[in-house]
Amino acid sequence: MKHVAMGTALALILLIPVAADAKGCIKGAIVGGAVGHYAAHHGVIGAAAGCVIGRHEANKHAREARHPDQMR
């Protein structure tokens, strides 16, 4: 059953053409995966959360760079 789910997920990923913007996601996924692995043996969940947080931080820094006069 696990192989069927993985095959289906891979097929969906390959069929959906999307431009990837990975700013912040790669570093966040590496750090989150390592922390998740060592803290609770949930590296995949840590990597996913790290990617989301890294992307959020990258967007925040880009927004601050575009509008430095509106810093809080």
pLDDT tens column, 2-40 = 677 777 776 666 666 555 567 788 888 888 888 888 888
Decide if 13 is inside a domain. Answer: no
pLDDT for the residue 47: 87
DSSP 70: G
Question: CB within 8 A of 50, min separation 6: which ones?
Answer: 28, 29, 30, 31, 32, 33, 35, 36
Decide if 44 is inside a domain. Answer: yes
The pLDDT of residue 43 is above 60: yes
Are 48 and 26 in contact by the 8 Å Cβ rule? The answer is no
Decide if 6 is inside a domain. Answer: no
Decide if 31 is inside a domain. Answer: yes
Decide if 56 is inside a domain. Answer: yes
pLDDT tens column, 49-61 = 988 998 899 888 8
3-state secondary structure (DSSP) of residue 71: coil
Number of domains in the chain: 1
Decide if 1 is inside a domain. Answer: no
Supply the range of the domain harboring residue 65. 20-70
